[in-house]
């Protein structure tokens, strides 16, 4: 299809819109326009008349769900600014005129996937920047040597050059010769006295505005790169990513509220869970870390005794400096060399563990989302949860359900609280605590103009002060004498990623 043909079809669409009627599609002799209003804009899909309109409507809904992921508002300016991101996302939905079998989560994954070409480009760019900085340093050293030589030459020239200059400018008469000789010999003395004072700004060698200024490394780098650009060199001067970028992307961990003693132990469990909407565990991965922090040097040489009640077969691994035989035989954590102390005022990871399984009983909290189509063209959605591991107490539980764009759900029943985020088209179901006394709950709501696939994937977050791995520090003792040491301990168990797809 030519560009002129596409522009002609788009230009004809507003003329086919009839006021006073509710449409979802308009047909001509050759094509079918399937569209969906989005505030002041329209999401338009142009297909042949032989195309399956039900599949076209589902594709159109998926297109409309992609836009809020990249645009903060449904305005023309915002969409133009994010045009390339939207094109990349749309390209994952339709290929060669046919729809791909993908959902919103998969589209985001494909678009954000690392590119080998991009990594090569980044490496080349950083290499160019390093070479430019190296040239800058060499140029700076060269200019520094030139300035030092100029200062030395200026000092010697001013001391020995004023005398001859004075002699040459004045007539060599009998009366003038003694006066000239006195003035020429006294001039260097005055010059040396002036040199001992701070040099005035006018005495500095004049330099162009874009010349290299010695002093600050970052300023020198920028100046030298500008100078290379002025000389015709092609230099890419993109700043390196900040070291804090990875920490900004990283998921925030639950804050600690445990007062710390001189010996402090922290157990951290995080879990990645992926469950199918029709049941079936796709991914379950638990990873944990036990870290030790000592703030008093007299407790540097200690041993940590653990209670291990695990029955699932969690894989444990000690730090290379920890005595593995001592841990295997007595569940004690101590250094291979007992004479050496643990590092002071540093969080030291001494034990980590990992557990992967396909056993559905490993999931601590099960979520069942059951959307069913109703007679009004929408869906009635029932969601229920159940705490499978009743020894746990889950806090700040949040179940996030995606919604069709521009639709407000009608809540019929809800245990806990809910928040409707109309900007992000999300419904957040929040529960402060789920424990053995409130291990079950449900939520029911209705959404017009929707299909069951609109409510996936669900995202679940929670935290707990009870670890998933049944490990706990029993006591801490000194290496010498096995004297008990007072210690503090904190435990945090949280979701790194938990979704129902």
Range of the domain at 331: 263-360+468-500
User: What is the reported pLDDT for 380?
Assistant: 94
3-state secondary structure of 333: strand
Predicted confidence band of residue 222 (pLDDT cuts 50, 70, 90):
low
Residue 14 CA, distance from chain mean position: 42
* Domain contains 410: yes
Give per-residue pLDDT as tens, 322-343.
Answer: 999 999 999 999 999 989 999 9
Q: How far apart are CA 314 and CA 356, in angstroms?
A: 8
Give per-residue pLDDT as tens, 260-294.
Answer: 899 999 999 999 999 999 888 999 999 999 999 99
* Domain contains 293: yes
Q: Say if CB 286 and CB 495 are below 8 A apart.
A: no
Predicted confidence band of residue 23 (pLDDT cuts 50, 70, 90):
low
Q: Which residue has the tokens 């994937």?
A: 457
User: What is the reported pLDDT for 41?
Assistant: 81
* DSSP code for 102: -
CATH number, domain with residue 427: 2.60.40.1170
Give per-residue pLDDT as tens, 229-272.
Answer: 666 655 554 444 444 333 333 455 666 677 889 999 999 999 99
* Domain contains 131: no
Q: How far apart are CA 369 and CA 222, in angstroms?
A: 56
Regarding whether 314 and 285 lie in a shared domain, the answer is: yes
Regarding whether 42 and 71 lie in a shared domain, the answer is: yes
Q: Say if CB 251 and CB 275 are below 8 A apart.
A: no
Regarding whether 472 and 333 lie in a shared domain, the answer is: yes
* DSSP code for 51: S
Regarding whether 450 and 310 lie in a shared domain, the answer is: no
Angle, CA 329 vertex, CA 326 and CA 330 arms, to 5°: 75
User: What is the reported pLDDT for 169?
Assistant: 43
Regarding whether 477 and 455 lie in a shared domain, the answer is: no
User: What is the reported pLDDT for 221?
Assistant: 54
Distances (CA, A) of 20 to 17, 23, 27, 61, 450: 10, 10, 17, 23, 23
Regarding whether 392 and 338 lie in a shared domain, the answer is: no
Q: Work out whether strand 488-500 and strand 263-275 pair parallel, antiparallel, or are unpaired.
A: parallel
- In this predicted structure, the answer to whether residue 407 has a pLDDT above a threshold of 70 is yes
Q: Is 22 left (phi over 0), alpha (psi -120 to 50) or beta?
A: beta
Average pLDDT, stretch 436-459? 93
* Domain contains 255: no
Regarding whether 91 and 31 lie in a shared domain, the answer is: yes
Whole-structure pTM value:
0.52
Q: How many domains does the chain have?
A: 3
Interacting residues of 428 by C-beta distance below 8 A, sequence separation 6+: 398, 399, 400, 401, 418, 419, 420, 421
CATH number, domain with residue 37: 3.30.450.60
Give per-residue pLDDT as tens, 118-171.
Answer: 778 888 888 899 889 889 988 888 898 888 888 888 765 554 444 444 444 444
Interacting residues of 134 by C-beta distance below 8 A, sequence separation 6+: none
Residue after which a domain boundary falls, among 88, 112, 136: 112
Burial of 365 (C-beta count, 10 Å sphere; 0-12/13-18/19+): buried
Residue after which a domain boundary falls, among 86, 112, 138: 112
* Domain contains 226: no
* Domain contains 195: no
5-19, 92-106, 119-133: which is most confident = 119-133
Residue after which a domain boundary falls, among 112, 133, 151: 112
Give per-residue pLDDT as tens, 49-76.
Answer: 888 888 888 888 888 888 888 887 788 8
* Domain contains 138: no
Regarding whether 419 and 354 lie in a shared domain, the answer is: no
* DSSP code for 298: G
* DSSP code for 499: E
3-state secondary structure of 186: helix
Higher pLDDT, 113 or 22: 113
Regarding whether 321 and 460 lie in a shared domain, the answer is: no
Predicted confidence band of residue 213 (pLDDT cuts 50, 70, 90):
very low
Taking residue 251's Cβ as centre, other Cβ atoms within 10 Å add up to: 10
Regarding whether 45 and 87 lie in a shared domain, the answer is: yes
Torsion of CA 316, 318, 319, 322, to 10 degrees: 180
Regarding whether 459 and 476 lie in a shared domain, the answer is: no
User: What is the reported pLDDT for 83?
Assistant: 85
* Domain contains 66: yes
Predicted confidence band of residue 181 (pLDDT cuts 50, 70, 90):
very low
Regarding whether 372 and 442 lie in a shared domain, the answer is: yes
């Amino acid at each position: 299809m030519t560009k002129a043909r596409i522009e002609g079809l788009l230009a004809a669409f507003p003329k086919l819109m009839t006021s006073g009627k509710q449409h979802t599609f308009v047909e001509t002799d050759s094509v079918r326009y399937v569209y969906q209003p989005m505030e002041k804009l329209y999401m338009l899909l142009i297909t042949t008349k032989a195309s399956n309109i039900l599949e076209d409507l589902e594709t159109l809904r998926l297109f409309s769900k992609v836009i809020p992921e990249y645009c903060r508002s449904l305005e023309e300016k915002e969409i133009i600014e994010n045009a390339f991101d939207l094109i990349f996302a749309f390209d994952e939905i339709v290929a060669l005129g046919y729809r791909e079998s993908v959902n919103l989560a998969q589209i985001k994954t494909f678009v954000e996937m690392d590119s080998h070409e991009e990594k090569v480009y980044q490496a080349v760019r950083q290499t160019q920047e390093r070479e430019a900085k190296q040239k800058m340093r060499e140029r700076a050293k060269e200019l520094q040597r030139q300035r030092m030589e100029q200062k030395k030459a200026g000092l010697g020239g001013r001391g020995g050059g004023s005398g001859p200059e004075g002699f040459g400018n004045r007539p060599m008469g009998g009366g003038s010769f003694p006066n000239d000789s006195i003035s020429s010999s006294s001039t260097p003395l005055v010059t040396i006295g002036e040199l001992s004072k701070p040099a005035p700004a006018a005495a500095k060698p004049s330099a162009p505005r874009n010349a290299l200024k010695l002093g600050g490394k970052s300023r020198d780098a920028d100046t030298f790169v500008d100078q290379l650009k002025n000389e015709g060199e092609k230099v890419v001067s993109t700043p390196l990513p900040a070291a804090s970028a990875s920490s900004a992307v990283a998921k925030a961990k639950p804050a600690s509220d445990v007062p710390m003693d001189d010996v402090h132990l922290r157990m951290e469990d995080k879990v990645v869970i992926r469950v199918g909407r029709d049941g079936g565990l796709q991914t379950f991965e638990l990873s944990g870390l036990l870290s030790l922090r000592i703030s008093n040097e007299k407790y540097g040489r200690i041993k940590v005794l653990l209670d291990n009640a695990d029955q699932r077969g969690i894989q444990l691994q000690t730090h290379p400096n920890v005595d593995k035989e001592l841990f295997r035989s007595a569940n004690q954590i101590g250094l291979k060399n007992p004479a050496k102390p643990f590092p002071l005022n540093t969080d030291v990871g001494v034990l980590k563990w990992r557990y992967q399984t396909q056993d559905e009983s490993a999931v601590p909290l099960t979520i069942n989302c059951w959307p069913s189509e109703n007679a009004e063209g929408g869906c009635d959605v029932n969601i229920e949860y159940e705490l499978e591991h009743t020894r746990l107490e889950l806090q700040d539980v949040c179940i996030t359900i995606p919604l069709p764009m521009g639709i407000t759900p009608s809540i019929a029943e809800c245990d806990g609280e809910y928040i409707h985020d109309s900007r992000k088209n999300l419904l957040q179901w929040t529960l402060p605590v789920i424990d053995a006394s409130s291990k079950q709950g449900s939520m029911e709501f209705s959404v017009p103009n929707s299909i069951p696939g609109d409510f996936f994937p669900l995202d679940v977050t929670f935290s707990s002060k009870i670890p998933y791995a049944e490990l706990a520090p029993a006591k801490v003792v000194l290496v010498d004498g096995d004297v008990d040491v007072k210690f503090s301990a904190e435990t945090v168990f949280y979701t790194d990623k938990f979704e129902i797809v």
